[in-house]
Amino acid sequence: MPRSVNRRTPDWLALYRSDLPPEVVCEVQGLPVTTPAITLLGCTRVLPEREVGRMVDDSLGKTVERAEIQELCRSHRSGTAALRRQARFASTRALSEPERLFARALAQRNLPLSANYSIGPYFCDFVDERSKTIIEIDGREFHSEAKVFRNDRRRQNRLVLDGWLVLRYAAADILEYLDACADEAVAVIRRRRHHR
């Protein structure tokens, strides 16, 4: 809302006022709305970091292009550092919430890895080719079926026999102990890179 407009809102609705240039405001069904990029910028100012991270990950490459965020950060001053950081750590290829959080944690440790990467006939959650390390995030709902369980073991054996180290983390552990899991994976990958 422009700063000049006064509106009463229900208690559950927070209203933020800002005077914006006309090029970042459009009309949808008769209502003035901001562009998706400006909306992300506004959210970085008021929402918890984890929620903004999810919004950036869900939006980047779909409703907002990276170039739009970069241009926005060049043309605005307030709040852009947080948005720039969120975009730098974005995880747009993760297939699950634990994978998304893990990808961001690795990026924050300056070790972004390829997500959902293929090695031969197999798709792996995260891959570091330099250290020949694969990281798998296993959720119970997808890996508890007998056939899936057996295929995972066969796949892992094939990858290990081809010289890959496979680290496996339970999705529940990622959600509860994200920093410890990410720190362990980063330490292993850096140590393997050093020795290779």
| Fold designation for 93-196 | Endonuclease; Chain A (3.40.960)
Query: Beta 114-119 vs 122-128: how paired, if at all?
Result: antiparallel
For residue 94, which phi and psi values (nearest 5 degrees)? Answer: -70, 145
The three-state secondary structure class of 95 is coil
* All CATH 3.40.960.10 domain ranges in the chain, comma separated: 93-196
Q: Are 15 and 7 in contact (CB under 8 A)?
A: yes
pLDDT in tens, 6-65: 777 788 877 777 777 777 777 778 777 888 888 888 888 888 988 988 999 898 888 888
pLDDT in tens, 107-141: 999 999 988 889 989 999 999 999 999 999 998 76
pLDDT for the residue numbered 150: 87
